Structure 1
């Protein structure tokens, strides 16, 4: 069991996301939250998982003082739609435009997770395809006004009202769309701590 392997290690989660923090709680993995400022800019030639892999690794660079028993976990999620990486919307107008761009189409949600120790680094990613039904302008405006999804990639959260009424199906991990491919995190931590 992972629980037994965690006794001699401290897990640092570099994420301010309440959803990611809750996942670790539900996985019964105790973590210390430590978020350090990073300018999340990536080279323009990168596409899809290359972007999230780069950003997850970039967030780990702020931690130069890891101890032997510490494992740092950093991650990044984007919504990838028609060759464009969508991050978090800056305001109401941008959130509305993002959801309009996703309405009636399918897109990818890509999350990368970077595991860094004093001696090694491993990055993994997972892609989930999400299919949106056609949404009316009124539905989009209602969602953005009431749920204010400004801290969410692509301007929406699958677990909220918009997901209940607008998502027809997904291919891949549901939890990845919420913010973390939990099955991969559990499996990777188990392997990492055994080695």
Structure 2
């Protein structure tokens, strides 16, 4: 296979690709994330993933580049990464006892072709106490994650059930991504 580049600085995406023994490089996209607020969350996730992949691919056109973007959606509201601890508290409080959706868009670009897709997973949280939320925020874990939680770390304690691809919630729908890569 050609050189493979992950256009993301996410340590979780890097770990997932390493988990399946893929040989790849990491080159972080420098795009300013822009989007149309009227776009559906699914289109938004795919659009941002494609922007990231193309940004790196323009300088690495001999490679296959993977871009990804994960969005958390609760009742049609997109929850990004928290700006601060108060924002994280508000997000986690809103997710308490609720079912939300995690949408990860993926774009794979090469000189020959481009593939863009998304996976959508429903996640239901237990009811969370103020103390649970505050202790989690003290860990600093939620601060760099969409929706203010990581399902693969302490945020797992909040999850009552999921319906869909677990790895998509972590940040990259692994099996589908590898299957799509096989077409390159």
Q: CA deviation at 1:148?
A: 3.4
Cα deviation, 1:29-73, whole Å, max 9, x if unaligned, reads 1111111311112111112211101111111232313334x1000
The counterpart of 2:60, out of the listed 66, 84, 90, is 66
Q: 3-state SS of the aligned residue for 1:191?
A: coil
Match of 2:146 in 1: 153
**Matches for 1:14-163 after TM superposition, within 5 Å:** 14-63=7-56, 64-68=58-62, 70-163=63-156
The C-alpha deviation readout for 1:84-112, integer Å capped at 9, x for no partner, is: 11111111111111111110100000001
Question: Distance between the aligned counterparts of 1:160 and 1:66, measured in 2?
Answer: 33
Give the TM-score taking structure 2 as reference length: 0.95
Residues paired across the two proteins, number: 183
Structure-1 separation of matches of 2:21 and 2:79 = 31
Out of 153, 169, 176, the residue aligned to residue 184 of structure 1 is: 176
Distance, in Å, in 2 between the alignment partners of 1:102 and 1:71 is 36
SS in 2 for 1:20: helix
Counterpart contact for 1:66–1:117, Cα < 8 Å:
no
1:83-141 Cα deviation digits (max 9, x unpaired): 01111111111111111111010000000110001132110110010000110111101
Deviation for aligned residue 1:149? 1.5
| Distance in 2 of aligned mates of 1:32 and 1:162 | 28
Match of 1:167 among 148, 155, 159: 159
Instruction: Supply the distance in 1 between the matched residues of 2:60 and 2:19 (Cα, whole angstroms).
Output: 25
> SS at the partner of 2:104?
strand
CA contact (8 A) 2:141 2:150 kept: no
- When Rg is computed on C-alpha atoms for both structures, the one with the higher figure is 1
Unaligned runs of 5+ in 1: 1-5
TM-score (norm 1): 0.90
Unaligned 5+ residue runs, structure 2? none
